[in-house]
Amino acid sequence: MTNETDPWDALRRFTAARIALGRAGSSLPTAPLLAFELAHAQARDAVHQPLDTAALAEAIRAAGFDTLDVRSAAPDRDHYLRRPDLGRTLDEASGARLADHAAAMNDAPELVFVAADGLSAFAAQRHAAPLLRSVRAKLEAWNVGPVVIATQARVALGDPIGERLRAKIVVVMIGERPGLSSPDSLGLYVTYAPRAGRSDAERNCISNVRPEGLDYDAAAFRLMWLLNEARRLKLTGVGLKDHSGALPPGTDGRMLEA
């Protein structure tokens, strides 16, 4: 009996996709079947796992940022999943807390980060603080407000948060819908002049932030490029095209001179 090299083995190294799994009769072999069931369970857990806000706040403060806690109008996970509209609205107590904080600030912040559970608390728990550590050194020229930790949150919850804090730009770091190979993917949504009623066409998105996808340093570079351009052009969304990938290393997110 001869041992033959499977030509698919070399290709599997370049993708997390499930390719060339083989078969046992009319089904999958046991190992890939169990791996699929594990990935499916991890994706479901990512949706339902609550965010440990205390641990996340501690990690973010260790990265050098102040924090505030808020929640959406969705009273629990069941309502959050069935009523996306509630996840886009602050509950009354959170709105009042943000208004009180804004009144106590001497200057309105240029930039506010929101760390939100979204559809994967795993993503915010694992990646929000490391990303903030990567981007912190690039923010010397920015007036940055507290990082707002939001639960039962949709992307658009960043709009009333930024509006209450009178921020010029809000960055929502939120857990993306989990997939069968990425239950902990973090998305970054950048909105200039946030206010309730903004549409998704008025945001820029950086997706798949995690060590196995877009790593923290690369995400921080791309984010700073968008932030600097948003501040210069006074807009985000379809009017702001992300050309950061065309810039050479060492530009630190600044627009090259023409």
Known binder of ligand: residue 155? yes
How confident is the model at residue 16, as a pLDDT? 72
Whether residue 86 is contained in a domain is answered as yes
Statement: residue 218 has pLDDT above 80: yes
Whether residue 135 is contained in a domain is answered as yes
The overall average pLDDT reported for the chain is 89
Q: Residues 155-207: pLDDT tens digits? A: 999 999 999 999 999 999 999 988 777 889 999 999 999 999 999 999 999 99
Whether residue 3 is contained in a domain is answered as no
Mean pLDDT of 220-224: 96
Q: Give the span between the Cα atoms of 109 and 142, in whole angstroms.
A: 8
- Residues near 145 by beta carbon (within 8 Å), at least 6 away in sequence: 66, 105, 109, 111, 112, 165, 167
Whether residue 132 is contained in a domain is answered as yes
Q: Which tokens sit at 71?
A: 């929640």
Statement: residue 245 has pLDDT above 50: yes
Return the CATH number at 226.
Answer: 3.40.50.11240
Whether residue 185 is contained in a domain is answered as yes
How confident is the model at residue 252, as a pLDDT? 47
Known binder of ligand: residue 205? yes
Q: What's the predicted TM-score (pTM) here?
A: 0.86
Whether residue 256 is contained in a domain is answered as no
Whether residue 21 is contained in a domain is answered as no
The count of structural domains within the chain is 1
Percentage of the residues of the chain whose pLDDT score is greater than 90: 70
Q: What Å distances lie between residue 208 and 23, 48, 169, 183, 211, CA to CA? A: 31, 20, 21, 10, 9
Statement: residue 256 has pLDDT above 60: no
The 10 Å Cβ neighbour count of residue 95 is 17
β-sheet with 147-151: strand ranges across: 67-71, 147-151, 111-116, 169-175, 186-192, 203-209
Whether residue 183 is contained in a domain is answered as yes
Residue range of the domain that includes 90: 51-240
Range in 18-22, 158-162, 178-182, 250-254 with the lowest mean pLDDT: 250-254
Statement: residue 91 has pLDDT above 60: yes
Q: Residues 96-153: pLDDT tens digits? A: 999 999 999 888 999 999 999 999 999 999 999 999 999 999 999 999 999 999 999 9
Confidence of residue 4 (pLDDT cuts 50, 70, 90): low
